[in-house]
Amino acid sequence: MLIGQTRGYAGDCDKTRVIQNDIGTDIKFIERTDEGPQFCFNNERSVKILEKMNELFYTDGALSDLADASVMTLQTLFSNGMTTLLGYNRLGDLANFREVEFPMSALPYPKLDEDQTNYVTSLHDTSEIGVIPMTLPPEQMDFVYTVLEVCGRETNRTVIPEWYENGLKIKYADGQEDAMMVDLIHDTITGPFAVAYDSALSNVMMQMSFSAPLQAHSTDFSSTYKKLERMGGKALQKAYDKFAENLANGN
């Protein structure tokens, strides 16, 4: 589509750009069984998710085929009034819209349908995590845990209130209703299994089952999943066996 008129929605179909839309539907990818973990998303809900995502990205008025779909480009489109809804942005990005000359607000990613009870907000797949090396001498564990506990306490006491309460909800929000919307998004944040392990499991959950067919303008989830089922099952079993081995070895 050509840029030059106001669009209803601007986004991109790349895997990392549709994580939020996908997870926002409260999809369940995996479940525990007596035989170990199994994929559980080959169902009518996933069929509907892919159909709705195609409707969102390819409906008249959507802008999803930008040559440059960087965050900066999307934000520029929105700031210049060229789109009313903007995908693939985070709460922290509110700071980049302080100079816009019209009222705006952060919104949670939509529910799949009215039967979905809660909104769901996904962490991004580049969220930072910390790890403790397996080579750490056991006698230093107490010291390391104490340092981590103190750092977490001080962050919770000083950094988070300043950024969240004073930054997001006052400086970057446009009134009390916007502040309530920030709370709604924040309080529904989750760390989905699929976001953490999609790449490790042959990208079966999100990239191959949703992003790839979406990019191909396909709504045929069932056929797509059938082609991936065996490969995904093997990858899941391999990961499960490795975790079990590490636990048995005390790692």
Residue 8 DSSP SS3:
strand
Two structure tokens written together for 243: 């975790």
Judge contact between 139 and 65, C-beta under 8 A.
no
**For the segment 30-51, what is each residue's pLDDT rounded down to a tens digit?**
999 998 899 999 999 999 999 9
Span 92-126, pLDDT tens digits: 888 888 888 888 889 999 999 999 999 999 987 66
Residue whose tokens read 């700031």 = 79
pLDDT at position 1 is 41
Least confident of 7-16, 17-26, 211-220: 7-16
Summarize pLDDT for 49-87 with one digit per residue, the tens. 999 999 999 988 888 877 777 888 889 989 998 899 888
pLDDT at 10 over 80: yes
What is the three-state SS of 24-77?
Answer: CCCCCCEEEECCEEEECCCCHHHHHHHHHHHHHHHCCCEECCCCCCCHHHHHHH
227 — pLDDT class (breaks 50, 70, 90): very high
Q: pTM, whole model, 2 decimals?
A: 0.83
Per-residue model confidence (pLDDT) at position 143? 95
Q: Longest C-alpha distance within the chain, in Å?
A: 64
Distance CA 231, CA 123 (A): 26
Q: Mean pLDDT, the chain, as a whole number?
A: 88
pLDDT of residue 44: 97
- In three state form, how does the secondary structure of 168-190 look? HHHHCCCCHHHHHHHHHHHHCEE
The sheet carrying 62-63 orders its strands as 62-63, 7-10, 83-86
Is residue 184 within 8 Å of 120, Cβ to Cβ?
no
Do the Cβ atoms of 96 and 75 come closer than 8 Å? Answer: yes
Which of 208, 200, 192 minimizes the C-alpha distance to 236? 200
Q: Which residue has the tokens 């996904």?
A: 122
Q: Which pLDDT does position 238 carry in this prediction? A: 94
CA of residue 232 relative to chain centroid, distance: 21
pLDDT for the residue 48: 97
Average pLDDT over residues 128-149: 87
Band (pLDDT 50/70/90 cuts) for residue 24 is very high
Residue 3: pLDDT band (50, 70, 90) is very low
Measured distance CA(14)–CA(16) in Å, rounded: 6
| Residue range 160-172, pLDDT digits in tens | 889 888 888 888 8
Determine how β-strand 30-33 pairs with β-strand 36-39: antiparallel
User: CB-side exposure of 237: number of CA atoms within 13 Å?
Assistant: 7
For CA atoms 33, 188, 46, 208, the dihedral sign is negative
Q: What region, left, alpha or beta, does residue 100 occupy, with left being phi > 0 and alpha being psi -120 to 50 degrees?
A: beta
Every domain of the chain and the residues it spans? 7-248
Q: What pLDDT score does 4 carry?
A: 53
Residue type, 248: A
